[in-house]
Structure 1
Amino acid sequence: MFEDRPKFRVYGTYAGQAFPDTLLEGLSTRLQGAAPEDWARVEVYVNTRRMQRRLAELFLQGPARLMPKFHLVTDLAHDPLLTDLPMPVPTLKRRLEIAQLVRKLIQRVEGLAPASAVFDLANSLAGLMDEMQGEGIAPDVIEGLDISDFSGHWERALQFISIVQRYFEGGEAPDEEARQRASVLALTQRWQENPPDHPILVAGSTGSRGTTFHLMTAVAGLPQGAVVLPGFDFDMPRRVWAQLSDPKTSEDHPQYRFSRLLNALELTSDHVIPWTAAEPQAAARNRLVSLALRPAPVTHHWRQEGPHLTKLDQATQDITWLEAPNQRVEAKAIALRLRQAAELGQTAAVITPDRNLTRRISTALAAWNITPDDSAGIPLNLTAPGRFLLHVLDLAQSQLTSETLLVLLKHPLTHSGSERGQHLRNTRELELYLRRSGPAFLTAQALLQWAEKEDHYRPWVDWINANVFDQWPQGPQPLENWVTHHRKLAEGLSAGLVGEDGELWEQAPGRDTKAVIENLTRYAPAAGDVELIDYTAILRGVLSAGQTRDQNHVHSNILIWGTLEARVQSADLVILAGLNDGTWPEPPAPDPWLNRSLRLQAGLLLPERRIGLSAHDFQQAIGAKAVWLTRSLRSDDAETVPSRWLNRIENLLNGLEKPDDASWMDHMRARGNEWLGKVKALEEPQVAPLSIRPSVAPPVASRPERLAVTDIKHLIRDPYAIYARRVLNLRRLDPLTKSPDAPLRGTLIHDLLEAFLKTGPWTNAEVAKATLLTLAEERFQSTVPWPAARRMWLARVVRFAEWFVTHEMKRQARILSTKTEIEGDVNLSELNFTLAGTADRIDLLNDGTAHIYDYKTGKPPSPAQQLHFDKQLLLEVEILRRGGFPGLGPLKVAGATYIGLDNAPSELPAPIDETDVWSDFSKLIRAYQSPEQGYAARRAMLKADDASDYDHLARYGEWSTNQRATVIKVSK
């Protein structure tokens, strides 16, 4: 197939060319007129499974011919005939083994590392071992590094690195990287001894890994061997290629790996031949980008070569440069362009390493029922089965909250076997109960108490208790025990009460998740005994690493690719998105073992390698026919820095001769701004007229005929709240997660003082104080499940205890008896209205009068507020005077007092005889029995920013409090 050549044979494709199509085109040209069996004798080694599938798809499109052998480079590790080493150990099994060794080392050496870091350290150490095996670096090379500044950190690092020594000495089954390297070495040795006479190609690899690099050099020297490099820069001068040899300054250049290969083969860039005669899609743009991405030491070439760049109009006319204010707008603009491509029948691909951005784009496209074909799929931990498993794992915590339980019960995979409708109805009723009166932390007994109210709830609650409150293993356990127990609970919760098979493992995400769980079970013995926290870390790790793809409902022309796909396929429109430094390229990951200098000394890959690979992917993708370059100016309220490649292109273009008053950059930005304008127009809110401030006037017959004294304040300050609560019968939905808030604190302190008064009389103040504090500690221990809140509230009681007891002893000296939490009411017969109230405390005094007290754990209302708004205590006085409290009869009231129990305890007398409270109250009720009187929203709030439970219903925010309320008559 190939003609004779001097020594080595290296070809290249242009940036922007669809590599699989170009590769087959070159094969067709070279095998034109050849015998049919010549096609079948061709072997092609490619670097990704996607590339392998794509080549097969293109070949099967015709014409009819025998298919070449398309091999995956990494499949060599699984060839049993290449080396006598055992088959490679699965990656998960090896990482679990290393995690066990790391755990033992941490347990043996005190202070070496925290136990919570076991699996992070194991993963990092396994990655280092893979790299050492791939590059052929033995552990003794690491141990022999020249460390001039010996430190404790390096000593600790060596203890961890020594763990992997056993995997290099032949005593253990090899990893995939080790067997891959051994297989490649054996294969190349066989070729050297007996060179094959059929064509062998390595296509699409950059040679960034040592093993693949060795394979490429060997194939390039075969009689019918060749290497086909993707995205080779034929526009870069030979003198620049010569300056790419130093990895310290050139590792991050897109062509560095090719330069390294050519140097190893003793070739120059002139020896690289285009694989086909086809011209690149954007030749002028390739020349521009080639100059822009020159290595840092030679960027002065811009001045020399820049003025000679031609056809800059062609280079920039198909580029849209879009700089969005934030990532949301960036995603929306991209989605709009993808929607247009779908309507026009164009193929459009988004290329970015930013998965958060791709999810935003997919969400925006969903509004138009477009589901892109995402090559990366969805991480299993974000799928329904993955989330379900993690929700089940949350049940293992020591204290279970209502939120944790209800999130699980409402999950679409819970009780998915049968009778899910009844399950959801039960869940709704349980939620309402838990919101109203549920405990802070759930127990099986608490659910049983609820189920006793309705017999048909009992089987369902028994099913919940059997699965949710199932006893998880305690202490260190074999990993398979954790997995087995977790899977049993998950399947039981998915099946439901009847016990039929649930939908947990159905559909593609379920099947892929099940495969991951079974794989973890298979290799669990390698991990040894682990704690629950370790199992949680392992499970989250394997789920986040797994992917699932469902191709049944995707749009075939709208594609989302990772950066690697830029080498595999092309599209009519290529959108390079998320071009901010720190995103594309991503910064080098921190290495806990070796710094940059030590890596270079050891012969390992430098951190800049990943940046160089990203740069090559960028250079390959930007060579497409039509290109968008997008970035966001801000991310998480911080300014972003444009990708270094965008900076270079912009700086170069700004220094070149401009076509008119506007620069080349202005033209590209104008196209991007046009799409930003479309996003702005799409999101422009519709101008709606302001809403009115409501004052609803329902029929008199529908108005409340009974109110509590605590409601009167709302009737004066926010009448709309009374309408919503007492007429519409709407209640605020209590929070699902109970918290130690002020209302709960007030209720508990009220209950505490009521219980304390029942323990009297006391011999002296010290005994009374001790009784109060003991009682507080006992009651808070059983009723306050939050340790921090319990301590703070007990400290509050300690602060006011002495003051309260001192005053209480004085009160006790003049009372006959005390009534607490006593309910009463008075009927206004002429108005057919009843006022009800509950007094915190009524003292019957020696002189036959009474005194009313009300406890306030916050600040008591001032006398002026009591006279005009907060009439609770004053109205309780009127109920007592009229004999409204049963068993007391009409009494003369000597006084009424608020007992403030905040940080500065005090007593505040109520102004009981400064106004005719009852007359004012009667006028208020009579006014609201008029059909014309409406319940106005936020009539006289204490503070402008005070919230009402019904502000959303009154549409507060669409009107202001300086508007006059509009009466709205309601007929029903």
Structure 2
Amino acid sequence: MKGLFAEPMGVDFSAALADGLHARLTGSTPQAMARVTLLTNTSRMARRTEAALASRGATLLPRIGLVSQLAPLLAPGEAPVADISSLATRLRLTQLVDLLLAKEPGLSPRAAAFDLAGSLANLLDELQEEEMDPSAFDALDVSDMSTHWERSLRFLRIVTGWSARDGNLTEAAAQGLALDRLVAGWERNPPQDPVIIAGSTASRTPTRALIRHVLDLPSGVVILPGLDTDMPEEAWQALTEEAGHQDHPQYRHAALLAALGRTRSEVPRWSERAPAVPARNALISLALRPAPATDAWRAEGPELPGVAEACAGITLLRAPSPGAEAATIAAGLRAALAQGKRAALITPDRALSRQVAAQLDRWRIIPDDSAGIPLGQTSPGRFLLQLAEMRGQPVEAEPLVILMSHPLTHSGRGRADHLTRLREVEIELIRAKPLAFPDRAALTAWLNDPEKPRLNDAWTEWLADMLDAVAAQPDSAPLIDHVTSHLELAEALTRGSADEAGALWSDAAGRAARQMLDRMIDAAPHRGETAITARDYARILHALLSGEEVRETFSPHPEVMIWGALEARVRSADLVILGGLNDDVWPGQPAPDPWLNRAMRRACGLRLPDRSTGLSAHDFQQAASGAEVWLSRAVRSAEADTVPSRWLNRIEGLLGGIGPHGEAALAGMVARGDRWLATAALLDRPDARHPTARAPRPAPRLPRGIKLERISVTGVERLIRDPYAIYAENFLRLRALPALRQGPDARLRGEIVHEAMERFARAVPDTLPENADAILRATLEQALADIAPWPGPRRLWLGKFDRAAADFLAAEAERRAKGRPLHLEDTGKLTINSLGLVLTARADRIDDLGDAVAIYDYKTGTAPAGRQQRQFAKQLLLEAMMVEDGGFAGIAQRRVDEVAYLTVGTRYAETSPEDFGPEAIARTRADFLKLIGRYAEGQPFIARLAPDLLTYVGDYDQLSRFGEWDDTQSARVIPVGQ
């Protein structure tokens, strides 16, 4: 029970650790196991080792800790306690970064101060871990670099000086002090009981120091995971020559052995467990040789033994898309489960793991996801973030409804009544107005509407109070004020009108979120009294919640796992699927360092970005050494073709270049993957035994005796283009709800221009005065102020209107010379007795020309012209027909001399039918009667009969199940009422 040991690739490390420990303690008393101190690299490995030890039956367990947390090994009075938390340190650094960005605004946006402070805090922790003297910054020469790095270096000198003078013991410094005290205690009184470090690759300086001291103990043991024993000694020695190959999976082991003066032959096995596939270990070892040594492929590759055996258990999956990759992986996991195997997906791609989990849901399988989910994506996290993003600004309609509909809002007694009342407010107030910025005044006016008074009770008073409270949240305040006011408002929302304790903090995610807010309250004074905006507070909260993960309390399936890359070191499964094997995923891109570039880090002796690549490579090498392995990637993402992972590229390149036996092995791997892709594709095909018919293009036909009784002039164009929409609106009585997301769109702009034109015509009923331009602009400004509550779009639209105003007034003067606006926004109704139909219209403007009239319609977009007016856009011609037939009560039957669309957009234009006159009106009348007559005789209402453009979207496309059919298919007549 002393010395340096290792386990090779393809071995379940936790189980091997338990085997070796039991073997060495055989014959000892049961208490001997309890006297062992075991230090692992992660808490997951600690749990896994406990399970492996307990699997042999009832036993005492060793004292298990982490190599990064040594304080529990010290006596109670010796354990150092940090004076300041990592969050408090980060908030302090945020003040410094904020001052830097104020002085150097070109460095980064001010909103990035908290994120930059996080990377700066990590750098300061690294300086302490690597025991770097801050004076090394003074020796750096950046004269041949960009000014950015010179500016960064000056700032780092200030920060390290401030950190040295601060005097507070940080969490990183406390860990370093714990190591010093532990080592000093061991030197005074070396422990006689075993102390074991297992599973660490010694990638950090404190861990390497701890390993050296443990090996000096009487019963000190270090067990290295995944030591490559197949690499030739010459290649092994080359790993640490000069700068070293830090991106190689075995670099850390080679550097540690070199520092200890050991060779691999002097490192015995800890257990007697055999690797799953020894030939696979040799194949992957050769494939991952450092780039300068890949000439060994030519020499060693053709003679490599057991290539077929090494590749027999590998399936190479080249999916055409991420969705296909997820579906195929899920199918493989499901098949393994049916065969009684334990199966695991290992991937650092969280998007892929979520897709696989969603695919598994088709079989009601909930995988055991070791990473959990980010706290910001849990129900309490989303609730807190939604509320945080609404603070400090007027309450908008869509975010309000989302927040009020959240399961945690009003989560006590009366939740069902809350949802019913909220739906009423949403449909009858917010959507119907539409109301972009709901507030107490609008709610009160709606409640007290004399035409339709509504219930005003404790719930409506609570809703009004919440509207006031959200709107009154501070936009600029110290961080502590933001946290406390946000917390108070969140609890008031979850209590609801019944004022009962809600469910915000009731589950694991809620408790984690509350702990995060409590830590923010404790650390907030370190941010100082400087005011920050509510948006900055929301960014800070989002960053903190996204950085925490929480596991749900439900019971997942014990035999289907989703692991991160680190799990490959400590756990094994019968089937291991390595998913997302594309560059930038395996390995991922190192996090960008805004403070030190690669050359500066090398000069200071700090960790290089290659370190993270090497650690990821070691995880890959261990995971790929299992008995049955899938190597999976999507050859194309949603945007472009992907690049295979460098390690997968090397394996394919090696197999493809060592001769026919390698090519045959690679072809077999690909063939197995293609079979699984084909199998997964069958899951989405209709089952021949239970065919799922695609919906036909509907063409409902009304029963005899039921016919269209009312239609508007604008509805006639819909009847021509999309008869099904008229059927759904008039006979099914379905109406599209107004959009909840309200903004300055084209519809609202048209409404504003119509309102302004009506006000201008009423203000100036006759000849235009000299100040007509001022009057016109004033009416538009007033219409904008009344209808569009967005200052930015108001100014933009006003500017566009100004460019068209002069041309409009010039043309308006000519119109006023011929007549004057007689009827504005007038409604008309024409009864056609022969068809039993009422035709309705709302004319924007009808001018009195004496013995005739002119009809005008305002447009802000492109007006229909030419063939569109002849075939579809019959609005103006139908209004002319109604005037001649007496359809407007306030207008005597008269001749119509002119109809035109007046476009008031970024420019002014007039558009009239090319052949307008009595013949055109007569032709329109005849065509209209013929059109309505055909439907009265039983013509079916075909969906999307003549859509305007390929991008045409109708209100009833979902009802007609458009997408299961397309515009090229023939319609199926559907008799209604039979």
Q: TM-score range by the shorter chain?
A: over 0.9
Preserved contact between residue 766 and residue 816 of structure 2 (Cα < 8 Å): no
Asked whether the equivalents of residues 392 and 475 of structure 2 are also in contact (C-alpha less than 8 Å), the reply is: no
Equivalent residue in structure 2 for 1:53, among 47, 58, 61: 47
Cα-to-partner distance string for 1:688-740 (whole Å, 9 max, x where unaligned): 76765544332455433233233333334443332222222222332222233
2:876 aligned residue (873, 878, 882): 873
From 370, 374, 386, give the equivalent of 1:391.
386
Q: What is the alpha-carbon distance in structure 1 between the residues aligned to residue 932 and residue 551 of structure 2?
A: 68
* 1:395–1:469 Cα contact (<8 Å) kept: no
Structure 2: distance between partners of 1:311 and 1:863: 77
CA contact (8 A) 2:37 2:64 kept: yes
State the one-letter code of the partner of 1:370.
Answer: I
Bigger shift: 726-735 or 535-544? 726-735
1:576 lines up with 2:570 in the alignment: no
- Greater shift after overlay, 51-60 or 62-71? 62-71
Question: Counterparts of 2:401 and 2:277 in 1: how far apart (Å)?
Answer: 57
1:372-391 superposed matches below 5 A? 372-391=367-386
Are 1:200 and 2:195 counterparts? yes
Shift in CA distance, 200/938, structure 1 to aligned 2, threshold 3 Å: closer
Which residue is equivalent to 1:740?
Answer: 744
Superposed displacement of residue 565, structure 1: 1.3
Distance 2:966 2:613 in 1: 55
Question: Hey, what's the Cα distance between the residues in 1 that align with 2:146 and 2:973?
Answer: 80
1:400-411 → structure 2 map (5 Å cutoff): 400-411=395-406
Give the 3 Å change call, closer, same or farther, for CA 526–962 of structure 1 in structure 2.
closer
Q: How has the CA–CA distance of structure 1 residues 316 and 920 changed in structure 2, closer, same or farther, with 3 Å as cutoff?
A: same
Task: Assess if the C-alpha contact under 8 Å between 2:391 and 2:475 holds in 1.
Answer: no
Matched, 1:607 2:601: no
- Taking a change above 3 Å as real, the CA distance of residues 743 and 262 of structure 1, as seen in their structure-2 partners, is closer
* Worse-superposed segment, 855-864 or 753-762: 855-864
> Are residues 518 and 140 of structure 1, via their aligned partners in 2, closer, same or farther at CA, if it must alter by over 3 Å?
same
Give the C-alpha shift of residue 857 in structure 1: 4.0
Matched residue SS, 1:462? helix
**SS state at 1:321 partner:** strand
Q: TM-score, normalised by structure 1?
A: 0.92
Q: Find the residue that maps to 2:683 and give its secondary structure.
A: helix
One-letter amino acid of the counterpart of residue 54, structure 1: R
* 1:338 CA displacement: 0.9
Q: Aligned to 2:327, which of 302, 326, 332? A: 332
Q: Shift in Å at residue 465 of structure 1?
A: 2.8
- Residues 695, 936 of structure 1: 8 Å contact kept: yes
The separation in 1 between residues aligned to 2:23 and 2:252, in whole angstroms, is 28
Matched, 1:924 2:930: yes
**8 Å CA contact 2:79, 2:178 repeated in 1:** no
Q: Which residue of 825, 832, 838 corresponds with 1:834? A: 838
* One of 15, 21, 29 as aligned partner of 1:27: 21
- 1:349 is paired with a residue whose SS is strand
Query: For residue 854 of structure 1, what is the aligned residue in structure 2?
Result: 857
Identical-residue share of aligned pairs (%)? 41
Question: Structure 2 vs 1, CA of residues 804 and 192 (structure 1 numbering), >3 Å: closer, same or farther?
Answer: closer
CA drift at 1:917: 5.0
Residue of structure 1 equivalent to 2:434: 438
Residue identity matched to 1:824: G
Tell me which residue corresponds to 2:527. Answer: 527
CA contact (8 A) 1:13 1:229 kept: yes
Which of residues 157, 161, 166 is equivalent to 2:156?
161
**Stretch moving more, 68-77 or 546-555:** 68-77
Q: Would the aligned equivalents of 1:867 and 1:911 in 2 still touch at CA under 8 Å?
A: no
Q: Contact conserved, 2:380 with 2:513, CA < 8 A, in 1?
A: yes
Counterpart of 2:412 in structure 1 is 417
Instruction: State the AA in 1 paired with 2:878.
Output: L
Residues 456 and 643 (structure 1), Cα distance of their counterparts in 2 relative to 1, 3 Å cut: same
Amino acid at match of 2:733: N
The one-letter code of the counterpart of 2:479 is L
Alpha-carbon distance between aligned partners in 2 of 1:899 and 1:639, rounded to the nearest angstrom: 49
- Partner SS for 1:905: strand
1:294-313 alignment, distance < 5 Å = 294-313=289-308
Cα offsets for 1:83-117 (capped at 9, x unmatched): 68554633222222222333344446776654222
Distance 1:691 1:593, change over 3 A: closer
CA contact (8 A) 2:880 2:896 kept: no
CA gap 1:238/1:170 in 2 versus in 1, 3 angstroms: farther
* 1:73 equivalent in structure 2: 67
1:13 aligns with 2:32: no
> Residues 167, 285 of structure 1: CA spacing in aligned structure 2 closer, same or farther, 3 A cutoff?
farther
User: CA–CA distance in 2 between the matches of 1:829 and 1:112?
Assistant: 76
Q: Map of 1:109-508 to 2, 5 A cutoff?
A: 113-149=108-144, 152-165=147-160, 169=164, 171-246=166-241, 248-433=243-428, 434-452=430-448, 453-456=452-455, 459-470=458-469, 471-474=471-474, 476-508=476-508
Structure 2, gaps ≥5 residues long = none
Alpha-carbon separation, structure 1, partners of 2:893 and 2:390: 57
| Alignment partner of 1:564 out of 563, 566, 575 | 566
Q: Secondary structure at the match of 1:100?
A: helix
Q: Distance in 2 between matches of 1:723 and 1:885?
A: 27
* Residue pair 2:704, 2:938 contacting (<8 A) in 1 also: no
Query: Contact 2:277 / 2:626 at 8 angstroms: preserved in 1?
Result: yes
Q: What are the superposed Cα offsets for residues 487-527 of structure 1, whole Å, 9 maximum, x if unpaired?
A: 11112212222111211112222222222222222222222
Residues 925 and 405 of structure 1, relative CA distance in 2, 3 Å threshold? same
1:574: how far off?
A: 1.4
Q: Which residue of 1 aligns with 2:660?
A: 658
Deviations 1:270-310 (A, max 9, x none): 11111123322221111222222222232223333334422
* TM-aligned CA distance change 1:104 to 1:857, over 3 Å: closer
1:772-813: per-residue Cα shift (whole Å, max 9, x none)?
222223322332334454344334443443444344444445
Matched residues in 1 for 2:142 and 2:699: separation? 81
1:935 equivalent in structure 2: 941
Q: Which range moved further: 303-312 or 103-112?
A: 103-112
Q: In structure 2, how many angstroms separate the alpha carbons of the residues matched to 1:87 and 1:813?
A: 86
* Corresponding letter in the other structure for 1:565: E
Alignment RMSD (CA, Å): 2.9
Partner of 1:626: 628
- Does the CA-based 8 Å contact 2:805-2:908 persist in structure 1? no
Distance in 1 (CA, whole Å) between partners of 2:870 and 2:93 is 75
Report the Cα distance in structure 2 between the residues aligned to 1:962 and 1:605, rounded to whole angstroms. 62
* Contact 1:765 1:805 (8 Å CA) reproduced: no
1:793 equivalent in structure 2 = 797
Distance (Å, rounded) in 2 between the aligned partners of 1:945 and 1:200: 70
Q: Which residue of 2 aligns with 1:820?
A: 824
**1:230 shift after superposition:** 0.8
Q: How far does residue 42 in structure 1 lie from its aligned partner after superposition?
A: 2.4
Q: Which amino acid counterpart does residue 462 of structure 1 have in structure 2?
A: E
Offset of 1:593 from its aligned partner? 1.9
Instruction: Work out whether residues 585 and 643 of structure 1, in 8 Å CA contact, stay in contact via their aligned partners in 2.
Output: yes
CA contact (8 A) 1:740 1:789 kept: yes
SS in 2 for 1:683: coil
Q: Does the alignment pair 1:768 with 2:772?
A: yes
2:672 corresponds to 1:671: yes
Q: 1:204 Cα deviation (Å)?
A: 1.2
Q: Using a 3 Å threshold, how does the CA distance of structure 1 residues 54 and 82 change in structure 2: closer, same or farther?
A: farther
Q: Residue type of the partner of 1:447?
A: L
The CA distance in 2 between the partners of 1:53 and 1:36, in whole Å, is 20
1:552 match: secondary structure: coil
